[in-house]
Amino acid sequence: MQTVTTAVAGLGMREFTGGSGDPLVMLHHSFGNPGWMPIHEALADHYTVHALDLPGYGGIDGSERPDWARHPRDLALLVGQWLRAKELGPVEMVGCGFGGWVAAELATMSPELLKRLVLVGAAGLLPENGRIYDQFLVSHSNYVEAAFSSTEAFEAIYPRNGDESEEHPLGDDTLVVWDMNREMTTRVGWKPYMYNRRLRPLLGGVTVPALVVWGDNDAVVPMECAHAYVEALPDARLEIIPDCGHAVDLEAPESLAAIITGGKS
Amino acid sequence: MFLSYFTEQPMSAYPADEGLKEGFTSVMFSNKYYDPVEGSRLFNERIEEYKLADQVGFDGIMVNEHHNAPFCMQARITVMSSILAAITENAKIVQLGNPLPTYDSPLMFAEEIAMIDMISKGRLISGIVRGAGQESVCLNANPAYNRERFNEAHDLLVKTMTDDGPFSWEGEHFQYRVVNPWARVLQKPHPRIWVPGVFSAETIRWAAQHRYPYISLNTPLHLTGELWEIYDQAARAVGYEPGPENRGYLLRVHVQKDGDKARENAREFMWMQGEFTGIGHPYWVSPSGYGSSARRLDYAKMANAEVRGSRAAPFEQQLAAREIVAGTPEEVIAELRVVLETCRPSILMLWGNDGDVNHDDSLRCIELMGTEVLPALRDIGDELELHDPFELDSPISLALTPPDELNPIESAADERPEDTSDSRSLKMFR
């Protein structure tokens, strides 16, 4: 694995990259990518994995913030420019949560850059019955924990440092990066929260095959959004991961990798 | 001295135990506990008290605005200002302040204050604030752009008040193809703008750079010296020598003939400091992107610590520190003399009644302030040369100061990092 920064529209965009094979790009949740994770390692056996920090995400060492960006679609445009700058496309793109929304936006505007769209617990569509869990009403740690099916699963990724003298046992670096990521999410996604009414009508124009993956215990984006994506995308199928929360990529990396690779050797 | 009356207008008639059970009393504390019958009574009692404050000689009546919380009933500052414009005769209407970034239409706001200024026959002082972060949450105004929206709305507001229309406005956050309100402020070039705040160095500097008085909201007395130092340096850097006319101070003060009764009533000031209400989570009070990035780690630690309950200092400690002043008129005057000598403001806001202090006691407090406390404070103010902006007829802004009167001293610029005191301000807000 190595860290690579590419200049796009005057901004440094950082990725963790490793493995070999066809290119696969992963876009992270709104709380950010915690690093080169087991899902990346598992996929790197089959692909050259590019785990990109979305513009404005990843902390002080992450991708630079486009001050002008006001909507996740602006981030999708930058991801498209990044793909062209690196001459990577067409790629398989895996978007998780908020990153799934960005991936879906990119698919509607530049399907030629994609070979396949994989949406994992993707935001972007307004649920008709349920509600997308609003991070802005809770603390950073409570929100991220809600993305997992259990406290144990959360702590497996974000271990507590055990120092009980601290007000909060999570590390300073984690808290700072979470807050920078939340600020960027605020800048582009304050309202309407985590959906775009102009996305669904455009999904019909996505010409590439799509795979929609959802944890059956997703407490962040309601399962009805999975069905809505499958209905709106012309060529999509749904895979449900049992006993798993919203952050399938972090909680069930082997299962997700197996579904994505689907017998690929 | 400019002496003003203030109350938060608490919605005190709600089941406090429900708030204590929830652990917070803002933003998400259900309005099923709001009793509009009691609300109607409380509003009308406050209106009677304001009339009395006007009659007994206050120079101003300060009003404010908050959302989704029982500690302040005023959801719209311009509504109460409009009522005051019609029912009072003498007192200036001091809005501290209008949360500009939370308004989607600064133009509509400019129309409202022009109407208020005309109806009040030129008695409006229109203060402006960023609003605590929770106001952004409640009104769904993006907190990450709060500062930008504040700056732009201010510029548009001043231009609307001073320039003839029609003109267009193409800003980052606000756009109007026609700005041409048929409502103009009576005071020329425009009503005075004052800026209240707790202790945000960024806001203190901003006020000084615009030559707007900064009204320190019950900032602990021992910190006010540091506060004015920040203000004064910024003022000298842009070219004017600040004085008491640039300084205001809001203080909790309750007066009764019986000093013990006054102190017992003054315990109600603890109400919004977290004993009964006023508790919000840090991620509401200061959402990500609202505060200074220099304090990010402190903020993130606090936001994730899930501390419940009050962080306010005990009542007796606040009395001793003169953050709350209560007693007989004589006792209060003696205490306020120390406050005036220490803080040296020319604008003093007496926050007279809060919590569950009843209507009769509130009226008596206002009456005693008018007949005994205010005259004494005016004498002390003269003795200490605390002359307010109206007495001095000081320029209402830097933009309206004749350039030849300005002498910028670049070396006076404050070298300290931005917002060194944000976390302190945050703690005080809680």
Query: Residue by residue, what is the 3-state secondary structure of B48-108?
Result: HHHHHHHHCCCCEEEECCCCCCCCCCCCCHHHHHHHHHHHCCCCEEEEEEEEHHHCCCHHH
B354 close to B271: Cβ distance less than 8 angstroms: yes
Helix, strand, coil tally for chain A in percent (to 5): 35, 20, 40
Give residue-wise pLDDT tens across range B50-76.
999 999 999 999 999 999 999 999 999
Does A187 contact B287 at a Cβ distance shorter than 8 Å?
no
What is the model's pLDDT at position A169?
59
What is the model's pLDDT at position A162?
59
Mean pLDDT of B219-227: 93
A8 close to A74: Cβ distance less than 8 angstroms: no
3-state secondary structure of B176: strand
The mean-pLDDT minimum among A116-125, B50-59, B191-200, B407-416 falls in: B407-416
Give residue-wise pLDDT tens across range B341-374.
999 999 999 999 999 999 999 999 999 999 999 9
Q: pLDDT band for position B309 (50/70/90)?
A: low
What is the model's pLDDT at position B415?
58
Structure tokens at A85: 């700058």
**Helix (H) or strand (E) run with residue B347 in it:** strand B347-351
Residue entry with tokens 């062209």 = A84
DSSP A89: -
Q: Distances in Å between the alpha carbon of A94 and those of A80, A125, A167, A175, B169?
A: 14, 17, 36, 25, 42
DSSP B373: I
Beta strands (DSSP E) in A197-242 are: 210-215, 236-241
Using a CB-CB cut-off of 8 Å, the residues of chain B touching A138 are 283
What is the model's pLDDT at position B302?
87
A163 has a pLDDT exceeding 70? no
Using a CB-CB cut-off of 8 Å, the residues of chain B touching A140 are 283, 300, 303-304
B93 has a pLDDT exceeding 50? yes
Task: Tell me which residue of B17, B105, B34, B102 sits closest to B68, measured CA to CA.
Answer: B34
What is the model's pLDDT at position B295?
86
Measure B311 CA to nearest chain A CA, in Å: 15
CATH code: domain of residue B132: 3.20.20.30
B422 has a pLDDT exceeding 90? no
Exposed (0-12), middle (13-18) or buried (19+): which is B256, by Cβ within 10 Å? Answer: buried
List residues in chain B touching A: CB distance below 8 A. Answer: 27-28, 137, 140, 142-145, 281, 283-284, 287-289, 296-297, 299-307
B181 has a pLDDT exceeding 90? yes
What is the model's pLDDT at position B412?
64
Mean pLDDT of B164-168: 98
Does A183 contact B301 at a Cβ distance shorter than 8 Å?
no
Task: Tell me which residue of B304, B300, B278 sits closest to B291, measured CA to CA.
Answer: B300
Distance CA A175, CA A160 (A): 12
List residues in chain A touching B: CB distance below 8 A. Answer: 136-141, 166-168, 170, 172, 175-176, 178-180, 182-183, 186-187, 190-191
More confident position, B294 or B33: B33
Does B289 contact A176 at a Cβ distance shorter than 8 Å?
no
3-state secondary structure of B411: helix
Distance CA B389, CA B392 (A): 5
**Helix (H) or strand (E) run with residue B195 in it:** strand B195-197
What is the model's pLDDT at position B428?
39
Q: How many domains does chain B have?
A: 1
Nearest beta carbon to residue A168 from set B137, B296, B301: B301
More confident position, A264 or A160: A160
The mean-pLDDT minimum among B55-69, B199-213, B296-310, B314-328 falls in: B296-310
What is the model's pLDDT at position B308?
58
Give residue-wise pLDDT tens across range B115-163.
999 999 999 999 999 998 999 999 999 999 999 999 999 999 999 999 9
3-state secondary structure of B40: helix
What is the model's pLDDT at position B35?
97
Distance CA A236, CA A46 (A): 22
Q: CA dihedral in degrees (B26, B29, B31, B34; nearest 10)?
A: -70
Q: Distances in Å between the alpha carbon of B21 and those of B16, B18, B305?
A: 9, 5, 19
Task: Tell me which residue of B317, B311, B216 sits closest to B272, measured CA to CA.
Answer: B311
3-state secondary structure of A213: strand
What is the model's pLDDT at position B390?
98
Distance CA A86, CA A83 (A): 5
For A17-49, the DSSP string reads EEE-SEEEEEE--TT---SS-HHHHHHHTTEEE
Q: How high does pLDDT run on average in chain B? A: 92
What is the model's pLDDT at position B423?
39
Residue type, A113: L
Using a CB-CB cut-off of 8 Å, the residues of chain B touching A168 are 301, 304-305
Q: CA dihedral in degrees (B192, B196, B202, B205; nearest 10)?
A: 40
What is the model's pLDDT at position A128?
97
Mean pLDDT of B2-21: 92
Nearest beta carbon to residue A168 from set B27, B144, B305: B305
Distance CA B52, CA B55 (A): 5
Task: Tell me which residue of B291, B272, B269 sits closest to B282, measured CA to CA.
Answer: B291
Exposed (0-12), middle (13-18) or buried (19+): which is A142, by Cβ within 10 Å? Answer: middle
Q: pLDDT band for position B22 (50/70/90)?
A: confident
Nearest beta carbon to residue A176 from set B145, B296, B305: B296
Question: What is the domain extent for residue B222?
Answer: 2-429
B362 close to B353: Cβ distance less than 8 angstroms: yes
Distance CA A28, CA A8 (A): 19
Residue type, A226: A
Give residue-wise pLDDT tens across range A90-114.
999 999 999 999 999 999 999 999 9
The mean-pLDDT minimum among A1-10, A221-230, B56-65, B263-272 falls in: B263-272
Bond from prior residue into B166 cis (ω within 30 degrees of 0): yes
Q: What percent of chain A has pLDDT over 70?
A: 95
Q: pLDDT band for position B410 (50/70/90)?
A: confident
Structural domains in chain A plus CATH codes: 2-261 (3.40.50.1820)
DSSP H helical ranges for B344-420: 359-368, 374-383, 389-392
Task: Tell me which residue of A245, A261, A254 sits closest to A39, measured CA to CA.
Answer: A254
Q: pLDDT band for position B429 (50/70/90)?
A: very low
ipTM over 0.85: yes
Measure A22 CA to nearest chain B CA, in Å: 38
Q: What percent of chain B has pLDDT over 70?
A: 93
pTM of the model: 0.94
Structure tokens at A242: 């049992």
A233 close to A116: Cβ distance less than 8 angstroms: no
B276 has a pLDDT exceeding 70? no
The crossing angle, in degrees rounded to 10, of helices B359-368 and B36-55 is: 20
Mean pLDDT of A233-244: 98
More confident position, B294 or A72: A72
Task: Tell me which residue of A83, A57, A10, A18 sits closest to A184, measured CA to CA.
Answer: A57
Does A183 contact B144 at a Cβ distance shorter than 8 Å?
yes
Measure A96 CA to nearest chain B CA, in Å: 22
Nearest beta carbon to residue B28 from set A137, A141, A191: A137
Distance CA A218, CA A216 (A): 6
Bond from prior residue into A90 cis (ω within 30 degrees of 0): yes
- Beta-sheet pairing, A11-19 with A47-52: antiparallel
In A152-169, which positions are buried (b, 16+ CB within 10 angstroms) versus exposed (e)? Answer: ebbeebbeeeeeeeeebb
Distance CA B212, CA B294 (A): 25
Does B288 contact A168 at a Cβ distance shorter than 8 Å?
no
Q: pLDDT band for position B293 (50/70/90)?
A: confident
Distance CA B255, CA B261 (A): 9
